[in-house]
Amino acid sequence: MSVSRTPDVVVFDYGFGNVRSAERALARAGADVEITGDYDRAMAADGLLVPGVGAFAACMAGLRQVRGDWVVGRRLAGGRPVMGICVGMQILFSRGIEHGEEADGLDEWPGTVGPLQAEVVPHMGWNTVEAPADSRLFAGLDADARYYFVHSYAVHDWELETTNPHIRAPKVTWSTHGERFVAAVENGPLWATQFHPEKSGDAGAQLLTNWIETL
């Protein structure tokens, strides 16, 4: 008889994220959780969650300082799950432009993070999303479920083209605030959300449970 093991998740601490709220939400969703910036622990965990709050360039600088760029790249090269939240999602793209200054991202996906064009910025509060019908991230969630966003920048265009019929195309979820923007992505072992699931009540808890169940 096999005995199931609780997945262990590292919330990567590089100085730019709500690590405590993420820790509590993941624990409630059924994971053993550790907050650390240690390279070896981040590499060994079943799942790695990369939060992010603040400016794109500052987050990238903080991540590189603790070799977080290597951690993400090495885990994904080995098919090991990584999830990014808020700016932790944005830095997965090629570049970010804030106040006219450009900074390189992790370049896991092509695309540019730029200012939201809306009457009210930041986009702060609850909003719905348009998820693919076969999404695993949003499995069991109603189309009118609402999620908590806090951001002034976003990815407005999905630029990755998947032409090989043997490669599964990423699942891209959208939301709208003044204009459409990427709200979440599922791409093999790499998942990410622009909103904060750890602050999104029951819907966010279900979403985190969906991720943990894949680990």
Q: Which residues are catalytic?
A: 86, 196, 198
State the Cα–Cα distance between residues 131 and 194, nearest whole angstrom: 13
Secondary structure of residue 111 in the 3-state scheme: strand
CA distance 89 to 93: 8
CA 96 from centroid of its chain's CA atoms = 15
**CB of 191 closer than 8 Å to CB of 137:** yes
Query: 45: which DSSP letter?
Result: S
Determine contact, residues 119/139, Cβ cutoff 8 Å: no
